[in-house]
Structure 1
């Protein structure tokens, strides 16, 4: 034990760590390295996010808030209208202007225009340019989070959801093979799940959207019969942002599949007040601009809960996940779709392994032949380096992609490169007449600055690739970065520790052990 040094002890622990966390990946147990889309097959989707719809949705939410607060405080307004990026209404009693101004001050990111009319005061509320840009950006980020939550809830392993540009999302789903799975996933991703509750306008009739607009209403189709239209009062009573939970079940009377949703405290208060004041009138339940049902309110509904009847249990399952995960703040459209077959992934793995193994074997043989014992020690460090890369990726749940395997192949060359520099420095000192121990210490010392500088610059490049690259480039960057850090431990610290151990044990080291002639 006295012959052991701290460098060798660290190297041994690193080797044991690498082996312990690499074995599960080969026997299919956790923690293991996940295979990417290009290695196990699946689907690749590019989605576009309609940011303008998020802006419209925010304006509609403001309109609902204004209507709720003014009703509660008995401030009378008329002609509340939502038009794209603005909303407008008339304040009947001018004396209520201070109260109205106070309410509008709490709507962040808005600018208010006031115009005095014969009837009262016309208010025009619109988002500031900065708030519009922020809303679009928030919509993209929230869409990424929502889609990721839905895929996790659906039970998919290793989904990748990343931002591309200012309004696109890239979704990579390894392991999706059947057409049924693909259709379910696409429906789950693209469903906005934007729940809204509207009061049905039974007092007027309208055939076209223009007719509806005259009354400040909108026309929306029935989910089951697109030809059947409902005339609904705007703004909506409340929206899906107030949902806290959604579960699948069956209705008591008809035993139809249904989604039972629960609202937060604010939503429950709005829902209770509205149903209490509108007994005998109809309330439409709208999801993604389609009317699912429009039941008559029989009594005040407290507790903040409701139900949506759907066609099938499968539909209920997908919609419940979407509602539970949160509605998409803006609709998404499918811009690109690519399928990668499992056979193509298997072929990629086979060819990559051939490249990795053949490259590894050639390097190992060359190092042992050219540097003798020094080459064998470098090969031991290289083997431990590979174990460490796989172990660290498995431990952090990283995904191995085809470019990632290319990064491992590149790391094999980079790992022995450090030992080549060290061994050449040692050989130079031996030629100068230094004894073996002095030559080894001097070789490591002289080579250190060149090795560290080279590895740091490469690591910076890997970090930049990870920060600004897309999914496949990130895979390459991850494996290269891990490989660089592992090689610093194995090729420098580990091999140095082995030489110190051999010298302390009294082994006679000669120039032959570095591939030199005696």
Structure 2
């Protein structure tokens, strides 16, 4: 019995540990207080924009960054302290306006060569970095009512167009009941509705003049999912107006959205942005007058309004509104089946559809503009003080040519690319919230609390690590030293994996790491005690080492797999802090299995393997 690993196993251990150390290394360099500037669809972040930003700092005698550069398409300005960071972000927000998004940020201070190779650092959660947390509840009853209203309007319009007379409709929980004047027209009405709206469930009722039109369970659930996703997208767009680096806007459960804004302490401003209203309007383009002349002279023709296109040129549009975003029930990007050109498919409710039909029938070949209106909060500096001012922004985001009479469903074409079509569909959907939301939970986490949490977490890990190291060193001697080495690399690998996966480290996550520190030595304790038993039974040291690792493996595997199953369940059904705890615990278990079994065995083999040994320091 020589207890030697084949070369490939030793190489595997070395490679895995080296990769783990490399992934964790960026966290050693700390962070720089920085200001992050991102381009928008209004302005491109190019070399001229960077020069403009630096010239603004020079002109107003603001602190200059000690280092700056483009990182992942954004300009990152690094400063010596947070005071310089605050001064610069206020100045840039005031001077750049809505052309660029300015955010405060703690940028990793790792060397450029690491960044170029794609290395990442740990993301700190809200409880560690500080900021505000909102939990919003989406009113799903309102979604259902909106769907029922939409079905009611569509069915009424269809029956009127088909000249099928009805006395009225009654709303039910998930559909409508239509009462016909002539019972003999019921079968014809059912065929018409099924043909036009195959997604609806249409059935004849006991009364000879009644039809039930019902939204299927699948369709209703899809509408709720779309409403939740549209609200999430809208809220994310609004969060961008806050200029927050690394915000979190994600779904939680079927009807809730979590918004976390690290680094934001002004909850009033955050709530104003999240609760802001946005509107979409479809208007005819005034093609009979010159918008550039109107812009130069300031004289706008009667019956028209002057707008700016998002791309920067003036557009004259009619004052009369064809339809608004409140009447929009759906928008999705796609491709023309005949030409393959990108397009956006739009669906309006019954009232908007009727108005769209009437207007477009008389204006085929003319342009139709999509106007985006939103109330936004801008920041400016007066006498060195930050002043916020709410203004209403109106701009045209798209102009399309009316090619035929449009109804409740139509296409927006003449789009440059499929990406533009996706963005336009997103704007159409995200212009307003699909359903009302209520803020049911609001928390503010101070920056000092975050710093205290980080320090407390580091102290907990450090004390736990040192106590375990001392115990193992005293009780198991050389074998304990090897176990301590494995424990150190286990922590390094967990940090490296968290960094590579860009998992967010929270306070419960730190608790998971502390628990892992204690669990990581369990496997080695089982192995070492088994080796002691084999020596007491009269086996040779080499045979005892081999038996200790082989016989303890099944027990170790069973214990860790059951814990891993519990962690997976926590991650699957838990949210927020519980999921964070489950992630660190799972990674810790996987890493400890590798380091405690394969890693320590490799080191023990290097120390004792391949030679005769009279005794073991255990």
| TM-score clears 0.5 | yes
C-alpha deviation, 1:48, in angstroms: 2.3
Residue 149 to residue 323, structure 1, CA distance change in 2 (3 Å): same
C-alpha deviation, 1:370, in angstroms: 2.0
- Normalized per residue, which structure has more helix? 1
Aligned residues: 434
Instruction: Find the counterpart in structure 1 of residue 358 from structure 2.
Output: 277
Q: How does 1:85-484 map to 2 (within 5 A)?
A: 85=173, 86-87=175-176, 89=178, 97-105=186-194, 106-108=197-199, 110=201, 112=203, 121=209, 123-127=211-215, 130=217, 135=220, 138=222, 141-150=225-234, 152-153=236-237, 154-155=239-240, 157-159=246-248, 161-164=250-253, 167-179=255-267, 181-187=269-275, 238-242=327-331, 264=345, 274-275=355-356, 277-278=358-359, 299=363, 305-310=369-374, 316=393, 323-325=428-430, 328-484=433-589
Instruction: Find the counterpart in structure 1 of residue 617 from structure 2.
Output: 513
Please give the root-mean-square deviation of Cα atoms over the aligned residues, in Å. Answer: 4.2
Instruction: Find the counterpart in structure 1 of residue 316 from structure 2.
Output: none
Q: Does the 8 A contact of 1:43 with 1:339 survive in 2? A: yes
C-alpha deviation, 1:159, in angstroms: 0.9
Residue 76 to residue 307, structure 1, CA distance change in 2 (3 Å): farther
Residue 490 to residue 149, structure 1, CA distance change in 2 (3 Å): farther
Q: Distance in 2 between matches of 1:338 and 1:235?
A: 35
Q: 1:58 aligns with which of 147, 159, 163?
A: 147
- Unpaired segments of 5 or more residues in structure 2? 30-107, 111-118, 284-320, 335-342, 379-391, 398-423
Q: Describe the superposition over 1:44-69 as per-residue Cα deviations: whole angstroms up to 9, x where unpaired.
A: 22222222111111112223433554
Instruction: Find the counterpart in structure 1 of residue 18 from structure 2.
Output: 16
Larger displacement relative to structure 2 (19-28 or 392-401): 19-28
Q: Describe the superposition over 1:10-58 as per-residue Cα deviations: whole angstroms up to 9, x where unpaired.
A: 2211211111111223432652221111111122222222221111111
Q: Distance in 1 between matches of 2:251 and 2:347?
A: 33
Secondary structure of 2:275's partner? helix
Q: Describe the superposition over 1:231-285 as per-residue Cα deviations: whole angstroms up to 9, x where unpaired.
A: x99999952413659xxxxxxxxxxxxxxxx952666999798445248xxxxxx
Secondary structure of 2:132's partner? strand
Q: Describe the superposition over 1:463-485 as per-residue Cα deviations: whole angstroms up to 9, x where unpaired.
A: 12112223111111111111001
Where relative contact order (Cα < 8 A, 6+ residues apart) is larger, the structure is 1
Q: Does the 8 A contact of 2:129 with 2:447 survive in 1? A: yes
- Normalized per residue, which structure has more strand? 2
